[in-house]
Amino acid sequence: MNLGVGSIILIVFVALLIFGPKKLPELGKAAGNTLKEFKNATKGLADDDDDSKKREVK
């Protein structure tokens, strides 16, 4: 999935048309928070797997 500069500009333009300039920053913030929570959750799962593997080795 290669997105060029033109594609990104088009996506931002369409998002501005659909949601408006006042709502767009709120949507970006919500998307960022969602990604941050997902990253933290997956990191926690990976850490749990690493801990269980270390216990098995010992």
How confident is the model over 8-54, as pLDDT tens digits? Answer: 899 889 988 998 888 988 988 999 999 999 998 888 777 766 666 66
Tell whether 37 is covered by a domain: yes
Tell whether 25 is covered by a domain: yes
Tell whether 43 is covered by a domain: yes
pLDDT at residue number 32: 92
pLDDT at residue number 6: 92
Tell whether 2 is covered by a domain: no
Range of the domain at 44: 21-58
Contact 28, 19 (CB under 8 A): no
Tell whether 1 is covered by a domain: no
Tell whether 46 is covered by a domain: yes
pLDDT at residue number 50: 61
Tally the domains of the chain.
Answer: 1
Cite the beta strand spans of the chain per DSSP E: none
CA angle 20–22–14, rounded 5-degree value: 25
